Amino acid sequence: MAQINSAGPTRAEKLVSLTYALINTPHGYSKAQLRKIVDDYKGLSEAAFDRKFDRDKKALRDMGIPLKTVGEGGEEHYRIPPESYRLPEVRFSTQEAAVLGLAAQLWKDTDLESSATRATGRLAWDGSEVDKSQFTEYVPRLHASGPAFAACLNAAWAQEVVRFTYLDAQGKTTERTVDAWGIGSRFGNWYLVGFDHKRQDERIFRLSRIVSDVSLGEAGTRRPEGFKIADALALLNPEFSGVAARIRIAKDSGWSLRSRAQNIVPAQTHDEIVLSFHDLMSTAAEIAKLGARALVLQPESLHHAVQANLENALRAQQAPIPAYKLSKRRNVGRPPSTEAVARNLDIIAYVAKFGSPTVTQTAKHFGLSEKVLLAHLQTIMMCGVPNGLPDELIDVEWETGTISINNAEALNAPIRLSLPEAAAMLSGLASLRQLPDFEHSVAVESAFEKLQRAAIGFEGIDAVLSIALRSTEENANYAALIQAIRDKRVVNLGYYSASRDAVSERLVEPIRLVEHSGKQYLRAWSRPNEQIRSFRVDRIQHADITKEHFEAIKQKHDDLDDIFFTPGADDTLVVLGFGKRLELLADEYGPEQWANWQGELIAEIRMSSTDVLPGMVAYHGGDLRVLGPASLREEVTSWLEDALSQIRKN
């Protein structure tokens, strides 16, 4: 069934064919030979060919395909050694395959989620299904910190220099040149550790404060002997007292600030609190969230930072409304061609392993629709020896409902893991190893040991990449809640509601704990609301386990969604604009419709109360705005103007 694509090969087809050709030759191809047999290289100048070939070499190496350069008669040749291409054969038990599946589920970022899913499909060849319900007692959700994550991970592993613009905790912007040594998460934030050329010393940078693209440069200084990113981040002290601040807060408001106060002086209409802070920007955002109900008296730097937050929020709120068009489908753009290439190679190896798997079986294994799988098969059918005859192309059949792939013997073995795949899986399993009293810890340990053997070429990556879950850092209520979940006991919560800025008592039936974007949530059936609700663990004032047991009822307690805000059919529909830094926040609200406009993600969501929106807009200081309805947009604008008016008067 091989065909020739008269329209010319796609980039994915070309890269699969290039892999096919370079792994099939014992001596390799020279540049001159490749320019003759690869249509995409024909007719190019020498400089243009070099640029395109360099890009293709990098793409193959980024996928974990080991392209080697060998010398022959003074002319360089390129080939892929089959023994270096193949993933080491490591067999995982059903239980180990299950925890591999769980580790892959942890990542909720498009790129790393895809990498983890591909790696799992390649490692768990037996196709056994993961029973997700057995892993819902505590589920971490891992998020990389925006576009800086991938660049910093690559640089840290390669020990390269990175350059970026950095916004420090005091609001100052500087250009930084850093020898990247490692990246890791601590206290819910991702950090880069390396040698700062400006300071001539080791420094730690929060990835969310990198406000420019990260450019990679030449090789940097090597990591110090024995360096481990986890040890470097262990020096961070969240209890650092920092600078004292005096803040005037209206009565019965500002609970989160009051809970941190060292002293509170009551007055008739307001209270004056004293607290310590070390992060100017985050503290300013927290105060800005209160609007006209809070005023910074000291220090002046914090006063100005709050004012800047509100001014940026108002500027964004008053910006023209774009001519967006909402859609039920979210446009996330086309995946990179390297992703399609890796998936095509995985499908070839999977079919070779199982002989003639069905279309349905194969689609299910890779988590694809049958329509998407058939598109991949059509691409594979166009691949083979570059510029080859029809009988030199890969032969693919699927009309009978079963898949056969012939003339692709060199690609029958699964490819080795790439850096993103190895990093996503090893760090995912490492995070599961940290969970206190995790019921599948034995399977996690054995799967982790086997994965280290399978991730050949990435030995020592734990020194470069580290994740510290919140459950291992602050556990005041963790043990009690886990026990209540296991025993199915009703819990009486004292809970602070940010929307009402008040503490109330709630009887709940706990279901699971979820870690999401560095915060822990209790998912529980709320008896007062008669639905599943999310409760931030850091806002739980007390968790008293009662003697009452509850029966787990499927209709009430099934909770496999990753939405931490539970919308109701009668809630108010609002349209919000999210800046690039807040795209993950949009997902938490389960948007009903989407749009994109010049880098702004626009989402239509339901909210039970819109009272919290002005504070949210102020908190994010220009990265979030209300677009509709018009009355709500005007209300938020007026709220911000009132808050700024008070600050300017004082």
Residue range 399-404: average pLDDT?
Answer: 92
Q: Which residue has the tokens 């006209």?
A: 292
pLDDT-derived band at 205 (thresholds 50, 70, 90) equals very high
Pairing outcome for strands 465-467 and 173-186: parallel
- pLDDT per residue over 323-363, tens digit each? 889 988 765 555 667 788 888 999 999 999 888 899 999 99
- Residue 339's CB is within 10 A of a number of other CB atoms, namely 16
Could you tell me if residue 576 is inside a domain?
Answer: no
Reduced to 3 states (helix: H, G, I; strand: E, B; else coil), residue 325 is coil
- Largest Cα–Cα distance of the chain, in whole Å? 91
97-124 tens-digit pLDDT = 888 888 887 787 666 788 888 888 888 7
**CA 269 remoteness from chain centre:** 44
Are 426 and 99 in contact by the 8 Å Cβ rule? The answer is no
CA distances from residue 540 to 439, 510, 535, 609 in whole angstroms, order as listed: 25, 13, 7, 21
The secondary element (H helix, E strand) that includes residue 322 is: none
DSSP letter (8 states) at residue 145: -
Spatial separation of the C-alpha atoms in residues 275 and 260, rounded to whole Å: 6
pLDDT of residue 280: 86
Q: How many residues does the chain have?
A: 650
Question: What pLDDT, in 10s, does the model give residues 2-34?
Answer: 444 445 567 888 888 888 888 888 888 888 888
Name the DSSP letter for residue 236: -
For the chain, what is the mean pLDDT?
A: 85
314 and 369 housed in the same domain: no
Please name the residue that has the structure tokens 């990753």.
562
pLDDT per position as a tens digit, 473-493: 555 677 788 889 989 999 999
- Asked if the model's pLDDT at residue 585 lies above 50, the reply is yes
Quote the pLDDT of residue 568: 66
Overall average pLDDT of the 302-325 stretch: 94
Crossing angle for the helix pair 370-381 and 337-354, to the nearest 10 degrees: 90
SS3 545: strand
Q: Which H or E run contains 482?
A: helix 478-487
The answer to whether 576 and 625 are in contact (CB under 8 A) is: yes
Angle (CA) 579-254-615 rounded to 5° is 25
DSSP 472: G
* CA–CA separation, 566 and 585 (whole Å): 14
Does the structure show a pLDDT above 90 at 195? Answer: yes
Please say which residue of 318, 340, 370 terminates a domain: 318
Between CA 302 and CA 279 the distance in angstroms is 10
Range of the domain at 363: 11-85+357-402
- Who has greater pLDDT, 534 or 177? 177
Helix (H) or strand (E) holding 508: strand 502-516
φ, ψ of residue 174 in degrees (nearest 5):
-140, 155
Going from the C-alpha of 239 to that of each of 244, 279, 321, the distances in angstroms are: 13, 11, 42
Q: What is the pLDDT of residue 564?
A: 56
Instruction: Tell me: do 303 and 366 sit in the same domain.
Output: no
Same domain, 309 and 374: no
Tokens at residue 167, please? 């916004």
Please answer whether residues 156 and 194 qualify as being in contact, where contact means their C-beta atoms are separated by less than 8 angstroms.
Answer: yes
Whole-number Å distance between alpha carbons of 392 and 408: 10
Cα separation, 158 vs 160, whole angstroms: 6
pTM summary value: 0.75
Q: How many domains does the chain have?
A: 3
Residue 319 has pLDDT above 60, yes or no: yes
Per residue in 531-560, pLDDT tens?
888 888 888 888 999 999 999 888 888 876
Point out the domain boundary residue: 497, 523, 557.
Answer: 557
70 φ, ψ (degrees, to nearest 5): -125, 150
Domain boundary among 402, 435, 457: 402
Q: Positive or negative CA dihedral for 393, 334, 212, 112? A: negative
Whether the pLDDT of residue 72 is over 70: the answer is: no
User: Residue 601 in contact with residue 594, Cβ under 8 Å?
Assistant: yes
- 3 state SS of 263: strand
Q: Cα torsion for 509, 511, 515, 517, to the nearest 10°?
A: -70
d(CA 256, CA 497): 10
Rounded mean pLDDT of 572-588? 85
Other CB atoms within a 10 A radius of the CB of residue 621 amount to: 23
Please give the backbone phi and psi of residue 3, each rounded to the nearest 5 degrees, phi first: -135, 160
Three-point CA angle 315, 317, 322, nearest 5°: 110
The verdict on residue 471 lying in a domain is: no
Element spanning 171, H or E: none
In a domain, 466, yes or no: no
- 3-state secondary structure at position 458: coil
CB within 8 A of 532, min separation 6: which ones? 511, 523, 524, 525, 526, 556, 557, 559, 566
Do 260 and 212 meet the contact criterion of CB atoms below 8 Å apart?
no
CA angle 58, 62, 67 (to 5 degrees): 60
Q: Is residue 166 part of a domain?
A: no
| Concatenated DSSP letters of 578-617 | E-GGGHHHHHHT--SEEEEETTEEEEEEEES-STTHHHHH
> Checking DSSP bridges between strand 215-219 and strand 138-141, what pairing results, if any?
unpaired
The 10 Å Cβ neighbour count of residue 45 is 8
Q: Do 314 and 363 reside in the same domain of the chain?
A: no
pLDDT digits (tens, 9 = 90+) for 256-286: 888 788 899 988 889 999 998 888 888 999 9
The kind and range of the H/E element at 193 are: strand 189-196
Backbone φ and ψ of 59, nearest 5°: -60, -45
Domain assignment present for residue 264? The answer is yes
CATH of the domain at 34: 1.10.10
Q: For residues 332 and 313, is the Cβ–Cβ distance under 8 A? A: no
Residue (of 526, 481, 521) closest to 507 by Cα position: 526
CB 205, CB 166: distance < 8 Å: yes
Q: What does the pLDDT look like over 222-232, one tens digit per residue? A: 899 999 998 89
